[in-house]
Structure 1
Amino acid sequence: MCNYQTLYHSSQGYVIRCAHCKGIQMAFGTSVVNLAPEEFFCFADMVIRLADNRDPLYQENEKSICLPLPADHVMMLLTPAEISRLAKMVMEVQALLEAYAILDGASHSQG
């Protein structure tokens, strides 16, 4: 049974992780996605890349960015403003997960 720890929470969404199985649940807007850790990092890299390379022709609040999810035939449709907010969220979670991995590695090497 999963025992969740909150990695991120705001009015935009949340990211939680099971401390036991390391599964990640991410909610953003009206979407909720369950991801394995490696899927989350791949997803986060894609989001950050899309946020960094925004098309200036799109309006800030125009649903113009299709973001594939790791399920067949499922995508998120986001505005440039939303992709920026999602990128901020996943960057914070990536940094936290990397810090946890370092701490976990240090505690295992001392044991």
Structure 2
Amino acid sequence: MCSFKTLYYAEDGYLIVCNECRHFQLAFQTTLLTMTAQDLQVFHTLVKENREYNADINSGRKNIYIPTPLEGYGMILNRKELEELFQLLETAEVNFKAECLLELFHTTG
């Protein structure tokens, strides 16, 4: 059974990781995805690239497509939502790296 550690939690979504199977669960608005570390890394990269590519868009229109690891399933976001998702992933990544470093100290001490 999964035992989750919260990497990020806010009103717009969360990212948690299972301590046993090391799968990640991302919730953002009405989307919930379970991903491997590799899938999450690819997804995070796609979000970063779309953020840079669509930097000049200030529209509230949902016209930014982000593919997911699930075949035939993607997210359609506006610029504000893309920025919120990016911040979620960036913060969670920093928290995950910090947790991994802390675990190193616990196992060697």
TM over 0.5: yes
Task: Give how far 1:74 is off.
Answer: 0.4
Code of the residue aligned with 1:9 in structure 2: it is Y
Matched pairs, number: 109
Are 1:3 and 1:18, in contact at CA under 8 Å, matched by a contact in 2? Answer: yes
After superposition, give the CA deviation of every residue in 1:75-105 in whole Å (9 maximum; x if it has no partner).
0000011000100000001111122222334
Query: Normalised by the size of structure 1, how large is the TM-score?
Result: 0.87
- 1:1-111 equivalences under 5 Å are 1-54=1-54, 56=56, 58-108=57-107, 110=108
After superposition, give the CA deviation of every residue in 1:27-47 in whole Å (9 maximum; x if it has no partner).
101110001112112211221
Task: Give how far 1:8 is off.
Answer: 0.9
Q: Which runs of 5+ in 1 are unaligned?
A: none
Task: Give how far 1:3 is off.
Answer: 0.8
State the percentage of identical aligned residues.
Answer: 25
Task: Give how far 1:55 is off.
Answer: 5.2
- Helix, strand or coil for the counterpart of 1:50? helix
After superposition, give the CA deviation of every residue in 1:38-86 in whole Å (9 maximum; x if it has no partner).
2112211221221122153x44311011100001100000001100010
- CA distance in structure 2 between the aligned counterparts of 1:95 and 1:15, rounded to whole angstroms: 12
Query: Normalised by the size of structure 2, how large is the TM-score?
Result: 0.89
1:5–1:73 distance in 2 versus 1, CA, 3 Å? same
RMSD after superposition: 1.6
The structure whose RCO (Cα within 8 Å, separation 6+) is larger is 2
Q: Which runs of 5+ in 2 are unaligned?
A: none
- CA distance in structure 1 between the aligned counterparts of 2:46 and 2:101, rounded to whole angstroms: 23
